[in-house]
Structure 1
């Protein structure tokens, strides 16, 4: 095998079309083979070993097996550091194999096998996205997805902000930073990898106009790559009995379902809940009034995932009473006949009034005559207030299942609607900050179905902080990730109010009176500025920033040099745009491996906290 690898590499290197900077171009070789390029075939026939391996004698002719050749060249053992553009750019693979070979139905799109560079905010999406290919730039991807340094640790309790001297095993975390990179960092922390019971996300819906503060106008390929990158690493964080719940609309739900089928396995799809998010029709709708969202649920391992029952409601319990003062408590009458007929269960019964009754035609009683008399003697049979009705079985509240299996349709009167969630935000902050926050009752329903107290809940699109606020009130541990600057003015402030015992949302329902704590921390930026500050800079500040970037590692390696004169010739908006375009987002956060690098002013206490966090 090794001889064949060496012979083929040596032979192909003779054709200058397949070589650049001393390296073979695997994609060019594959394309030539699929096109049955005559020069390539002549080259391959020069070596007897290669000829025997890839050509077959059919009568007087030699037939080239281009599929076998393509697979061989695509194998990672052959040119492992080359760029397989044919496979990755076109995106016709699933699980590393060609779709034609797998013979399965999968979702595929251009750049599927790549990592989408950059963040999720509208501001840092003003440049053209870079798709890092898995083999084009392995060093860059390794750095991009390596664990990052955390800094600015703050613990908040009922006493306010406290200095952080140690980390406990029961901390709640609010993390500021790019969620893809934060997820990859969490995957290196033993306390979290494989320990998260519930991941709930409400990602950008890709509508372009629904009021999200995130960049929400990706094209389909970008959005799917964006979600694929994040859901794939999120799966690693789930416990074996954990589950992922995704809130999404009609436009992207079906794409997302197929994508998650591929990531989790179609057998681990649990259900698609329908949430009635609006309580009134939109009479100005162009086609139809959209009144619902989807909540897709996938289990890490469906055999291990056991959803909880919903608590019984007062309305359900009101159906039970105790008119005969039975010592077993409240009960209600239930049917005593069944439609599955059995001759042995078809017998006459005499009521207390002396009337003889039979089961309905085509039915029978639900038990044998012998068992009927046992139930009768145990005062479990009811014949109506006058004792002359057909028998009914007394169903005692104390003996029924103390919970309810959740239905797949959730109405707004059960779990709230958008208008309620907006009013919750206004009550908290006195302002309408988010167009589509989720109501606390909706999050309560999801958390009570999928977790128990002290389980860990993760939301890496934290937005207005509803998930973490409800998790706090329900005594769950939680991790919230958010990149936007409002993380401190919205999420942190909301949780501080929760700790102080705010009475909005589900507080009364769960008897919330305050308490608890959470840890705030940020991914350490290697850049001396924040991206979002660029729009607030004047022209002089932009010029200084451009000079700083163009003479540092922060500038993308792929950008051709831009002279000071070229920069000065641009308009002010163009200067803002070009700076966003030339910044290498891959360099914006400090890798954990460089925490002691003198280039970064990381104090010893922060180093110690990172060591504790990563269990180093």
Structure 2
């Protein structure tokens, strides 16, 4: 398989493992139309660097995200966008200097963009469910590069397709070369993804009728010839009156016996002089419609439509030039999620993804959950504010839109779990430390047991984290006598260990020193 190389790749290919694990600190919960400091929601809006935020989501969400939609910077080189669509941004320069080193001074803007995207895609791959899919929107600036690194990370066999979205309908006569009307959306899956079908409309059904009063209902004509060469299905068909219809060069769609059966049931019919044959495709047998690779603006909205909506929501004060329409994201969700799916957007922008999810939940009574990540300062004033207004309702007069209902919790990225010297950050809440250590061992979400120091049990192994913030802990016989959980093996974290090896062997005890032996993931 072809692979893409660029300056700095060797420094970022495993950088996702070096990203510091930071806690997520809830700031407020928006529920019932009001801000509250009470219980948190399953919907999350996170303000902070999305690379660090994705790392912080792993303990709870690894392998659980059904649909990921991202609209990353397109790397157009345009400056001044609120989307920060320029890889020369000072934040990125600083990050590249830290991760890539002096080589970053020689990077082209394409090198920088790839260095930025690669570790994020690695973490997104970890978060994606086995039956999930990721949708990545972008234009021609980086689509060729993105295809190659996605082939590398997700696997070339997991490429589902490239959806072309018509983002504008009106041409640009001032275009220097070709007036562009489209964006790409690459779709990749993990391994078990089954793409859904789209709803049928009256427009899609207008070709169906029932001129012969067929009891099976409306139908349209279909080809009886094979879609590809089938030499074993080349035979002549005898009509009811004894005429012969010569086999096409490509062969028939079905065997001689099956076609004879379909002629008897009336599913296959002849024209009046019995020189041609056709099959009936019944409307009641059509389960939705297959997803096509071109999505037209008239069906899923355009950038102009999205701008009009934002003006309505924000009373004409819209700092975004190219938001995505909610109809586009709703279609993504229609073909990739069910009513209980978790959806992630780590380049959240104006919050279109959450808006679309709330709309769908309102329409079908679903319980889809969203996680949005936005690194820019407008995460609260625009991203979260839009979601609040969608929940409450927005617009005035004839343009007023009823609220969808719903809730979310707004988070800031907290402090790193480990200090620069490798020690645990003791300012971090104990539950957050326990959640991290348990996930590093069991790769499952943490539920605090009632027994002191017990992290949990899995596969007949009990895990203990014997930690006290203000004192040194020692694994000794006294601590062993306090253990209540029965297991075939014990993994016990502590500051020190005074047990004889014979005792450890007798009870199958593995000692892990805090913080040295805590796995960094």
TM-score by length of 2: 0.68
* Correspondent of 2:342 among 456, 478, 486: 456
Counterpart of 2:501 in structure 1 is none
Q: Determine if the alignment matches structure 1 residue 358 to structure 2 residue 358.
A: no
Counterpart of 1:106 in structure 2 is 3
Q: Which runs of 5+ in 1 are unaligned?
A: 1-103, 117-132, 527-585
Cα deviation, residue 470, structure 1: 0.8
* 8 Å Cα contact 2:26-2:410 kept in structure 1: no
For residues 159 and 434 of structure 1, what CA distance do their matches in structure 2 show?
Answer: 25
For residues 333 and 503 of structure 1, what CA distance do their matches in structure 2 show?
Answer: 47
For residues 516 and 443 of structure 1, what CA distance do their matches in structure 2 show?
Answer: 18
Could you report, residue by residue, the CA deviation over 1:556-594 in whole angstroms, capped at 9, with x for unpaired residues? xxxxxxxxxxxxxxxxxxxxxxxxxxxxxx99x9x9953
Q: Determine if the alignment matches structure 1 residue 238 to structure 2 residue 128.
A: yes
Larger RCO (alpha carbons 8 Å, 6+ apart):
2
Counterpart of 1:249 in structure 2 is 139
CA pair 366-247 structure 1, distance change in 2 beyond 3 A: closer
CA pair 332-518 structure 1, distance change in 2 beyond 3 A: same
Q: Which runs of 5+ in 2 are unaligned?
A: 88-108, 362-367, 439-444, 449-521
Larger radius of gyration: 1
Cα deviation, residue 110, structure 1: 2.8
For residues 333 and 289 of structure 2, what CA distance do their matches in structure 1 show?
Answer: 15
SS in 1 for 2:193: coil
CA pair 182-342 structure 1, distance change in 2 beyond 3 A: closer
Cα deviation, residue 177, structure 1: 1.3
Counterpart of 1:54 in structure 2 is none
Counterpart of 1:558 in structure 2 is none
Q: Determine if the alignment matches structure 1 residue 288 to structure 2 residue 178.
A: yes
Cα deviation, residue 182, structure 1: 0.8
For residues 337 and 225 of structure 1, what CA distance do their matches in structure 2 show?
Answer: 51
For residues 216 and 365 of structure 1, what CA distance do their matches in structure 2 show?
Answer: 54
Could you report, residue by residue, the CA deviation over 1:243-273 in whole angstroms, capped at 9, with x for unpaired residues? 2221111111112222222222333333222
* Correspondent of 1:148 among 23, 26, 43: 23
For residues 373 and 503 of structure 1, what CA distance do their matches in structure 2 show?
Answer: 62
Q: Determine if the alignment matches structure 1 residue 184 to structure 2 residue 55.
A: yes
CA pair 488-377 structure 1, distance change in 2 beyond 3 A: same
Alignment of 1:485-496 (within 5 A): 485-496=377-388
Counterpart of 1:594 in structure 2 is 425
Cα deviation, residue 436, structure 1: 1.1
Counterpart of 2:65 in structure 1 is 196
CA pair 264-340 structure 1, distance change in 2 beyond 3 A: closer
* Correspondent of 1:158 among 21, 28, 32: 32
Could you report, residue by residue, the CA deviation over 1:289-310 in whole angstroms, capped at 9, with x for unpaired residues? 2222121222223xx1221122
SS in 1 for 2:237: coil
SS in 1 for 2:22: coil
CA pair 257-211 structure 1, distance change in 2 beyond 3 A: farther
* Correspondent of 1:205 among 71, 74, 79: 74
CA root-mean-square deviation: 4.0
* Correspondent of 1:309 among 190, 193, 197: 197
For residues 503 and 317 of structure 1, what CA distance do their matches in structure 2 show?
Answer: 35
Cα deviation, residue 277, structure 1: 1.6
CA pair 277-296 structure 1, distance change in 2 beyond 3 A: same
Q: Determine if the alignment matches structure 1 residue 378 to structure 2 residue 268.
A: no
For residues 175 and 317 of structure 1, what CA distance do their matches in structure 2 show?
Answer: 43
* 8 Å Cα contact 1:195-1:456 kept in structure 2: yes
CA pair 340-427 structure 1, distance change in 2 beyond 3 A: same
* 8 Å Cα contact 2:234-2:249 kept in structure 1: no
Could you report, residue by residue, the CA deviation over 1:43-91 in whole angstroms, capped at 9, with x for unpaired residues? xxxxxxxxxxxxxxxxxxxxxxxxxxxxxxxxxxxxxxxxxxxxxxxxx
For residues 221 and 337 of structure 1, what CA distance do their matches in structure 2 show?
Answer: 51
* Correspondent of 1:403 among 281, 288, 297: 288
For residues 327 and 175 of structure 2, what CA distance do their matches in structure 1 show?
Answer: 27
CA pair 200-350 structure 1, distance change in 2 beyond 3 A: same
For residues 339 and 218 of structure 2, what CA distance do their matches in structure 1 show?
Answer: 30
CA pair 459-451 structure 1, distance change in 2 beyond 3 A: same
Alignment of 1:127-146 (within 5 A): 145-146=20-21
* 8 Å Cα contact 1:359-1:365 kept in structure 2: no
Cα deviation, residue 321, structure 1: 1.9
* 8 Å Cα contact 1:502-1:514 kept in structure 2: no
* 8 Å Cα contact 2:233-2:254 kept in structure 1: no
Could you report, residue by residue, the CA deviation over 1:317-353 in whole angstroms, capped at 9, with x for unpaired residues? 12212233333222223334558566874133146xx
Cα deviation, residue 500, structure 1: 3.1
* Correspondent of 1:424 among 280, 294, 309: 309
For residues 162 and 611 of structure 1, what CA distance do their matches in structure 2 show?
Answer: 30
Q: Determine if the alignment matches structure 1 residue 334 to structure 2 residue 222.
A: yes
